[in-house]
Every structure is written in structure tokens, then in C-alpha cells.
Amino acid sequence: MLFGVHYFGPLGVMSAALPHMRRNGYGRIVNTVTDVALDAREAYGFAYGAAKAALWSATLGIAKQVSGQGITVNAISPGARTRLTAEFIDRDFRGGVASGLDLSPEHVSRVVAYLCTEDAGDITGRVIHAVGGVIREYTTTRTSKSDLVDRFAVAIVS
């Protein structure tokens, strides 16, 4: 059920919208993902995180697929206090750090609105985290310089 709502639902919407966007040579898609896809500290259960991780990946893949067609595909990872999140946030979210933050949804909606403008036509395949007026971009990196890599180097040297 969670996978259907949080992955297949957005995929269906994109599949329906993309032909129209391609015909018009213009379109803006902004999916909603979450840091729960990457952060095991949250207790949402694996299905929700897995669905959002799949949507995260689909966002990046579809952005590549429609590159150069006037269509942008991005994702927002919102942090906001809404009807749906209020109970969770008010119940000592991450040790109560959220209690003093301005988590109004307007901070998130401004980012989404900008991603839908002409000015944002060069922004695609990106994941933006917006919370409390702070904006961050999620990026992934691969490194050979970490404690884990060093451990493997020692453990599997022949």
C-alpha cells in the first residue's frame, strides 16, 4: 500500500503528464521525497523509506531521460509542521529540537514555486531539502577516503 501511494502514484502522474509536456516542449515536475529514504534514525518503517528512495531515484532518472526537452524534474524533501506531521513533530521530534523552529509550510512552498518558474529551467535532476527557511541540496558522493574503506583495505589485503 505505501509503495503504491508513494512510488507508483507519482510515477503514474509523471507518465500521464510527460507526453503533454513533450508535445509542448515545456514542463515542470516536482516530486516529494524525504530524508527518511536515507536516514535510518526515523521510525517510519522500511516500506515508506523504500518507496521514497525509489521515487528519489526515478526523479533523477527521468530528469536525464527528458533532458533538453524543456522539461525539468526535481524533488523536494520538505520539513514542515502540517496537520499530518504536527503530532509527530510535537512528540519530541529528534529530542525536541523542532519545538523552537519556524516549520511553516510556506518555506517549502516558496521553493516548489520557484522550481516551477522559467528562471529555474536549468535546474533538473536535483533534490532540495527545505525546512524552516533553510535550503539544502542533497548530493551523493563516492569516496576512497573513509574509515570504512581503510578497514576494507586492511581486512582484504591478499
Query: 32: which strand partners?
Result: 76
Amino acid type, 47: A
Grid coordinates representing 157 are 589485503
Instruction: For the chain, count helices (H), then strands (E).
Output: 6, 4
Counted residue by residue, the chain has a size of: 158
48 belongs to the catalytic site: yes
Closest CA to 51 of 7, 92, 117: 7
List b or e across 117-141, with b for residues whose CB sees 16 or more CB atoms inside 10 angstroms.
Answer: eeebeebbbbbbbbbbeeeeeeeee
Catalytic residue among 26, 48, 114, 138: 48
The strand pair at 134-138 and 127-131 is best described as antiparallel
Active site residues: 48
